[in-house]
Structure 1
Amino acid sequence: MKSGLPKVLHQVAGRPMVWYAAALARKVSDGIVAMVVGHGADKVKAYLNEEKEQWEPFLVVDQAQQLGTGHAVLQAFPVLSRTQDEPVCQVLILNGDTPLLTEETLTALLAYHQRESATLTLLTTELTDPSGYGRVVRGSLGEVLRVVEDRDASVEEKTIREINVGTYVVDHEFLGQALAELQPQNAQGEYYLTDIIEQAVKQGKKVVGWATPDFQETTGINTRVHLAMAEKVMRRRINERHLLAGVTMMDPDRILIDESVVIGRDTVLYPGVILEGRTHIGDSCVIQANSHMKDTVLGRAVVVQDACVLQGALVEDEAVIGPFAHLRPGSRLHKKSKVGNFVELKQTELGEGSKVNHLSYIGDAVIGQKVNVGAGTITCNYDGFQKARTIIEDEVFIGSDVQLIAPVTIGKGALVAAGTTVTKDIPPNALGIARVQQMNREGTAAKRRALLQARKTAEQGARSSRDPRESSKKSANEIRQSS
């Protein structure tokens, strides 16, 4: 991957790859789940600790030395035997870098293992170009004989298109015996899990392979090219899931939705919409073009107009946002409130039916119900050292181009005149006005224009006397005029 980040922490549709493996394991099994962490273990465990509520049923096993796939399973095997309820019958082995693998495929694999009464079942698929992958060598009856790595394959074996995906179902008792007999296979002392296949064959155990027709879902992510492909496939699946659940998308190929996002039915998404993180959108919302939301909750029938950015915001029913609005973390809009074009809110609560329609910054504020905030209003909430709060009570009317120097409170029903800089509290139902008294001086504008014109003429004359080219230019103009 050419990255400082462990491979399994690279994200696909907003989730680390390890999340998909863990979630899939839990979907198909209610037994013990062990997660083996090797390269970058500290970072992987830090992520798991952040999400510990969902990972608590899992056991994390360290692979201090990364000595191959067989060694990884060997580290986990002891904890897989710890159960007080009933003996472990079979073990499902998954990779952490195959995020496209589906529950349907694993369910079919497990059912096939049971139906065939097999000791070991491996998941396979066919590729047009299997270069670089381990080939599945079968016998005359279709039974699996072995898996041969690409570098060790003969010319004939390299023509085989069926590859080993690296996902296995193995009888627990046999797996314990086979792991104990594994031997290192190269100078690095690595143990290959595929060696247990030959062990099973030699012991006369039944080894079968179940081939999935969808080769894409078996793709292991080893490069950024693979990652980009997985991202595209996963996002298409996510969009299809929401479409089938009653969400309308104007152009699904131009809409990006993270795996964690929840969307209510009858919501309409326009092209260019991006929904990330723990975003939850209620029923009958409209999200217009090129709007971007992350970790945001929308109630019912909310309208987000074009080119809005919402981060960590809570928006209640029937609110209207945008176009070109920015809701930063801690913003809360109550029912039927409105935030208009080129408005930014941060750590602000906007009451029911209140409006901030144009060109305003409102930060660290609590705004009551039925408040009108005029165009160009700014809460001056930072003095260079700390933030201060602005409180605007119900039914206040604030004129255009007002600065509110926090901390300050505007009482219920008060009026704030346009152009006012508010530095102290305004009582309820009062008019707050703070600006220089207007004076009209008759004739001053004409006198000023005459003065400026005279000054300009004098400056041009001075330049002409210093620069002969100006005199020549003036003479030429006079000749043209006389002719």
Structure 2
Amino acid sequence: MINDKVQAIILAAGKSTRFNTDSSKLVERICGKEMIVHTTSLLKKMHIPTTLVVGHKKELVEAAVKKHHPKGHFNFVHQTEQLGTGHALQCTKQAWTKEHILVMNGDTPLLSEDLLQRLIDKHVGTDAAMSFLVAHNVDPSIQGYGLVVNQNNQIKIIEEEHLEEEHDDLYNLNGGLYLLKRTFLEKYIDSLPRDKQSGEVYLTTLAEIASDNGLTISIVDAPFDEVRGVNTQRELWVAEQIKRSQIIDYWMKQGVRFSAAQNVHLDETVTIGNGTYIGNGVQLFGKTTIGKKCSICAFNILNNAKLGDNCLVRPHTIIKESAIGDNCMINSFTYIHEGSIIQNNCAVGSFNEICGEIISQNTKTSKKNERTFVAAFKTCADRSFSDTI
């Protein structure tokens, strides 16, 4: 398999300066998963062994990766000084074992398997020394991306801060993913110069070196959204909006209806049965599982909850780490705490609070004298749950 010849280096040592927090941007969550874990999960899915270069807040980054990948698929190299992307790659030389080295940033959570596979296939198929992604964007507010410039058949990548004049390639943005032949890297990695202004060593200089030496460079066009970096709080918000839209689009195709998809939050690990309705302002977190033909009405919050089929949850309800059986109705302003179990064919009255209780099947709860009591209740399996108010 072609991917057996590839290993990955994730650059994850940056200081997250523009994030203006005391943490690392790479552990910020996007749809329930740390930013860095979106990248590591993709590489693990593609069976590409990976080394992460860590530095700033390395203990947080390492902990996030190890939590999601406890079986040791990933290794870590510490960059003690952040001296640029080229220097970060130099720190990993001892880890190079494969024929091709994939280098990518840790803050690209929207990258797809299809795009990465196309880059690998083209790189190997053209026997290129270096391959990378180019994205096109005409939005002048987009900043922080170098330009890929082709002048007189000489290709180079110019960092944004070094742009001194207008270029015809103004919208050819460097996608920040590079695939390099190991023999090429071994020959030239130690000759990368330090930039006179910043003192950093830039990985992108390798494109100019390959071009100057007449070596093959392959370029793959990429949708800009897939290579979006996340350097600010606003860019984090944009990335999560895009990721959430992708998740909602997937569930729509599975037969789930969203009344106001733009106002719904759901994590990547949520599952929803077909024929289910999700109301305005609903928030679905963690490993929440919702069965078929349910109605989750407006402004409900479900966190690691499990719902059976044909359930109705009326507005302003919170269900946390609890299980609800089939054919159940949960009325408004109810809080179901951790460890609660509501069995099949039950109804819970409004303004209830259930704390770790087991509600037997075919029962109804209501509020009386500030306490919860259980009384016999006729099965609600024959109820119509089309009411989504």
So what's the TM-score if we normalise by structure 1?
A: 0.69
In the aligned structure 1, how far is the partner of 2:241 from the partner of 2:308? Answer: 29
1:206 CA drift (Å): 0.7
Is contact 1:296-1:310 (8 Å) kept?
Answer: yes
1:97 CA drift (Å): 0.9
Q: 1:198-237 alignment to 2 at 5 Å? A: 198-212=208-222, 214-237=223-246
Q: 1:219 to 1:65 in 2, by over 3 A?
A: same
1:145 CA drift (Å): 1.4
Secondary structure, counterpart of 1:121 in structure 2? strand
1:296 CA drift (Å): 1.2
Query: Gapped runs of 5+ residues in structure 1?
Result: 82-87, 359-374, 380-391, 399-483
Is contact 2:66-2:72 (8 Å) kept?
Answer: no
Which residue number in structure 1 is paired with residue 149 of structure 2? 137
1:348 CA drift (Å): 1.7
In the aligned structure 2, how far is the partner of 1:132 from the partner of 1:269? Answer: 38
Identity percentage of aligned residues: 28
Which residue number in structure 2 is paired with residue 376 of structure 1? 369
Is contact 2:52-2:77 (8 Å) kept?
Answer: yes
Q: 1:313-332 alignment to 2 at 5 Å? A: 313-332=322-341
Which residue number in structure 1 is paired with residue 72 of structure 2? 56
In the aligned structure 2, how far is the partner of 1:104 from the partner of 1:200? Answer: 26
Which residue number in structure 2 is paired with residue 469 of structure 1? none
In the aligned structure 2, how far is the partner of 1:323 from the partner of 1:163? Answer: 50
Query: Gapped runs of 5+ residues in structure 2?
Result: 1-18, 377-389
Deviations, residues 238-277 of structure 1 (Å, cap 9, x unaligned): 1001101121222222221111211122221122211111
Is contact 1:150-1:158 (8 Å) kept?
Answer: no
Which residue number in structure 1 is paired with residue 10 of structure 2? none
In the aligned structure 2, how far is the partner of 1:147 from the partner of 1:60? Answer: 28
In the aligned structure 2, how far is the partner of 1:97 from the partner of 1:13? Answer: 14
| Residue 65 in structure 1 maps to residue 81 in structure 2 | yes
* Runs of 4+ residues over 3 Å off in structure 1: 156-159, 186-189
- Out of 309, 312, 315, the residue aligned to residue 306 of structure 1 is 315
Q: 1:172 to 1:145 in 2, by over 3 A?
A: same
In the aligned structure 2, how far is the partner of 1:60 from the partner of 1:297? Answer: 36
Secondary structure, counterpart of 1:91 in structure 2? strand
In the aligned structure 2, how far is the partner of 1:36 from the partner of 1:78? Answer: 12
Deviations, residues 108-143 of structure 1 (Å, cap 9, x unaligned): 2222223332111111112213654211111445xx
Which residue number in structure 1 is paired with residue 16 of structure 2? none
- Out of 4, 21, 34, the residue aligned to residue 3 of structure 1 is 21
| Residue 25 in structure 1 maps to residue 43 in structure 2 | yes
| Residue 39 in structure 1 maps to residue 56 in structure 2 | yes
Is contact 1:36-1:63 (8 Å) kept?
Answer: yes
Q: 1:254 to 1:131 in 2, by over 3 A?
A: closer
Which residue number in structure 2 is paired with residue 240 of structure 1? 249
Which residue number in structure 2 is paired with residue 426 of structure 1? none
| Residue 193 in structure 1 maps to residue 186 in structure 2 | no
In the aligned structure 2, how far is the partner of 1:8 from the partner of 1:58? Answer: 16
1:194 CA drift (Å): 0.7
Aligned AA (1:26): K
What's the Cα RMSD here?
2.2
Deviations, residues 325-357 of structure 1 (Å, cap 9, x unaligned): 111111111122222200011222222223212
Which residue number in structure 2 is paired with residue 79 of structure 1? 95
Determine which structure has more spread, i.e. the larger CA radius of gyration: 1
Which residue number in structure 2 is paired with residue 295 of structure 1? 304
1:180 CA drift (Å): 2.7
- Out of 153, 174, 178, the residue aligned to residue 168 of structure 1 is 178
Secondary structure, counterpart of 1:4 in structure 2? coil
In the aligned structure 1, how far is the partner of 2:158 from the partner of 2:375? Answer: 78
1:377 CA drift (Å): 5.1
The structure with higher relative contact order (CA 8 Å, sep 6+) is 2
- Out of 246, 249, 261, the residue aligned to residue 252 of structure 1 is 261
In the aligned structure 2, how far is the partner of 1:290 from the partner of 1:352? Answer: 26
1:158 CA drift (Å): 7.8
Deviations, residues 1-52 of structure 1 (Å, cap 9, x unaligned): 111220111122222110111112223x313111222211111122233334
In the aligned structure 1, how far is the partner of 2:169 from the partner of 2:220? Answer: 19
Secondary structure, counterpart of 1:227 in structure 2? helix
Is contact 1:134-1:149 (8 Å) kept?
Answer: yes
Secondary structure, counterpart of 2:355 in structure 1? strand
In the aligned structure 2, how far is the partner of 1:377 from the partner of 1:152? Answer: 68
In the aligned structure 1, how far is the partner of 2:100 from the partner of 2:43? Answer: 13
Secondary structure, counterpart of 2:44 in structure 1? helix
Secondary structure, counterpart of 2:66 in structure 1? helix
| Residue 97 in structure 1 maps to residue 90 in structure 2 | no
Aligned AA (1:36): V
In the aligned structure 2, how far is the partner of 1:30 from the partner of 1:49? Answer: 17
In the aligned structure 1, how far is the partner of 2:239 from the partner of 2:214? Answer: 38
Deviations, residues 400-432 of structure 1 (Å, cap 9, x unaligned): xxxxxxxxxxxxxxxxxxxxxxxxxxxxxxxxx
